[in-house]
Amino acid sequence: MRTVRDVHARTVRAPAAAVGALLDRLGGADDPLFPTPVWPPMRFDRPLGVGADGGHGFIRYRVTAYEPGRRIRFDFTGGEDGWHEITVRPLGSDSCRVEHVLHSRLRPARAALWTLALRDAHGTVVEEIFDNIERVATGRVTAPVRRSPRVRLFNRLLWDRPRAVELPAAARLAHRAFPRTDFQDAWQMDLLPGMPQEPEAWEGVLRGGSFPVAGRTDAEILLGEDARHLDFRASVLVADGRVTLGTVVRLHRTTGRLYFAVVRRIHPFMARLMLRRFHRRLALAAPTAGERAAARG
């Protein structure tokens, strides 16, 4: 077993009470600190407090100590041995020290993963939390963290993948696109906090938006075109905290059936790839949690 201890700290030019009040919102619906949507949100099975179970992404933990406005400790669960905690300590009437400490005992395989990727990604997430504390508490960030190439690669590799679903009933434009449909499928991803919920923002999911718009509603945009061998429509539905990319196809004559017999083998791969890439692109371009909180005042 390898023991890992990782410490990050920052002085914030704001009263400890103000920063502590932000800390108390960690993991909540209006969390101003955890760096979503670039990273999976911190979520718990109940309001923040001792006993709350949750985590972020594949990292799972339970709140084992909570001093409102001052300290939160999380013990790892799911076979992990260790804990991490964040504290706020006053340095005077108008400044404080925020510190995050991680202490863990890692098996050899996990220790290797920590060295290769997790350490840099963890440090970046913690520093982005500190950036958001500064941004909300003081209105500016003195030296914002930059994601290294290794962290960006790790983020890309771990990005969520679309899941196959039935074409939702709410995708009415897609269901009504043709009097007869010869093929349909749908792929879905969850929206992360801060991601756009207007279907127009997702119009570029297909090759940068090169296909004409065939219809739109408040929640759905329909793209596509007709050809001699087949007609296709791609539906982008944004509803219930999810984005769904659906496809409906109508074939014409033998040439259409032969052509689509080949295309349908690669279509699922391409649909998943386009949705996943565009999902991450919009997440990276979205305002940070701190920027969203500051905008709300």
Arithmetic mean of pLDDT over the chain: 95
pLDDT at 209 over 70: no
42-46, 115-119, 218-222 — which is least confidently predicted?
115-119
Predicted confidence (pLDDT) per residue in 277-293, tens digit: 999 999 999 999 999 99
Q: DSSP characters for the chain? A: -EEEEEEEEEEESS-HHHHHHHHTTTTSTT-SSS-TTTSPPPEESSSSSTT-EEEETTEEEEEEEEETTTEEEEEE-TT-EEEEEEEEEESSSS-EEEEEEEEEEE-HHHHHHIIIIIHHHHHHHHHHHHHHHHHHHHSS-SS-----HHHHHHHHHHS---EEEPPPTT-HHHHTS-SS-SEEEEEEEEPPTT---SGGGGGGGTTTT-SPEEEE-SSEEEEEEE-SSEEEEEEEEEETTEEEEEEEEEE-HHHHHHHHHHHHHHHHHHHHHHHHHHHHHHHHHSPPHHHHHHHH-
The tokens describing 37, both together, are: 């949507």
For residue 1, what pLDDT band results from cuts at 50, 70 and 90?
confident
C-alpha dihedral over 33, 37, 39, 43, to 10 degrees? Answer: 60
Which residues are CB-contacts of 131 (< 8 A; sequence separation ≥ 6)? 35, 141, 144, 145, 288, 290
The tokens describing 7, both together, are: 């410490």
Predicted confidence (pLDDT) per residue in 124-144, tens digit: 999 999 999 999 999 999 999
For residue 208, what pLDDT band results from cuts at 50, 70 and 90?
low
CA–CA dist 42, 90 (Å, integer): 25
State the average pLDDT over residues 37-41. Answer: 97
Task: Evaluate whether 203 touches 196 at the Cβ level (below 8 Å).
Answer: no
pLDDT at 185 over 80: yes
pLDDT at 55 over 90: yes
